[in-house]
Amino acid sequence: MRRASTLASFNVISRSLATVHGGAAATSASPSHGLLQVALYGTSSTTGSHARRRWFDSFSGGPAGKLAICVAGTLASVAVASSLTQEVYAKEPPPAELVPKDVVLYQYEACPFCNKVKAFLDYHDIPYKIVEVNPLSKKEIKWSDYKKVPILVVDGEQLVDSSAIIDKLNDKIVPERVAAPSSNDDEEKKWRQWVDNHLVHMLSPNIYRNTSEALESFDYITSNGNFSYTEKFTVKYAGAAAMYFVSKKLKKKYNITDERASLYEAAETWVNALNGRDFLGGSKPNMADLAVFGVLRPIRYLRSGKDMVEHTRIGEWYSRMERAVGESARIKA
């Protein structure tokens, strides 16, 4: 896992002012980077450099010159401080010879289990295609005896059930882990089961807890799903109404009295499990981290997800996961 290190020279300080997104430096320099160059050098051109050097020497002795140098020094100090605190996490792509050649995910965009699989694929930088399944007709998966999602087809082999999919993929791309299990495997397994048996059941009662949040959720579902224009309208309003009542049954089934309190409690339970570590996996995410991140990703920017981040300590971990997982490995059609 890479981390930003202490800068040893001005050139490194200057480069550190480039914006970092998802573990990779931005391609264009930031305004402060340009200002730092101007303040110290005036220009990068070599033409007439001797005359400009004399001008700079003269300029630097005056008040304006001292101000410019102070600005440059301040920017350099900020760059160093930023470099010491900004953590840059790297993806973990498998060796090229172990990367599957053809991966197709049959999914619903808003499905937490589908997003769990995508988090694993994205983190390991395994390119994949998406087939968005129409949940009404399911015509896209008529070829399969399995009528649920996710379905992942890897080099012609059908894999089903999100946790089983991830296990099978992990065995393919990390064969040494199969040969030599880690002492942390039990902890990882425990929390992956917690995701499937507990955390995921906190989602529906929260995203459908009232009519406005149910409509917000179905607006997201229909905007990202595979629906005709007529189906979008019907599904948004009929689906929101239906799921509002279904969520009440789910509350009773899972003994939930206060939806938000249950979601917050689950988030805090996860943070406590980290026990001060950046990730459950330590310095890098393990499959439990990816599972939690995956199932929370569909709700993160809905009202329930925003409330969760605002009222619990999970936000910092989630931000680290966003940086670690980085850009989607999806192959655009």
| Helices then strands, each counted (H, E), the chain | 16, 6
Query: What is the chain's alpha carbon radius of gyration, rounded to the nearest angstrom?
Result: 25
Check the CA dihedral 40-46-50-55 and report its sign: negative
Classify 96-325 by CATH class.
mainly alpha
- Tokens 């301040």 sit on residue: 74
Query: pLDDT for 107-132, tens place per residue?
Result: 999 999 999 999 999 999 999 999 99
8 Å CB contact between 295 and 195: yes
pLDDT greater at residue 107 or residue 18: 107
On whether the CB atoms of residues 266 and 304 are closer than 8 A, the answer is no
Predicted local distance difference test score (pLDDT) of residue 165:
98
The residue assigned the tokens 């305004």 is 31
pLDDT of 35 reads 25
* pLDDT beyond 50 at 8: no
Task: Locate CATH 1.20.1050.10 in the chain.
Answer: 96-325
**pLDDT level of residue 219 (50, 70, 90 thresholds):** very high
Mean pLDDT of 35-53: 35
pTM metric for this prediction: 0.73
pLDDT digits (tens, 9 = 90+) for 175-190: 776 656 666 799 999 9
Which residue type occupies 235?
V
- The CB density around residue 185, as the number of other CB atoms within 10 Å, is 12
Lowest-pLDDT choice from 160-169, 228-237, 318-327: 228-237
Task: State how beta strands 129-132 and 151-154 pair.
Answer: unpaired
pLDDT at 21 over 70: no
**For residue 152, which of 116, 198, 203, 177 has the smallest C-alpha distance?**
116
pLDDT at 12: 35
Q: For residue range 160-178, what is the model confidence (pLDDT) as tens digits?
A: 999 999 999 999 998 776 6
In this predicted structure, the answer to whether residue 79 has a pLDDT above a threshold of 70 is: no
Q: What is the pLDDT of residue 52?
A: 42
Question: Which sequence positions are flagged as catalytic?
Answer: 108, 111, 113-114
Residue 285 is encoded by which pair of tokens? 């995410």
Q: What is residue 88's predicted lDDT score, i.e. its pLDDT?
A: 58
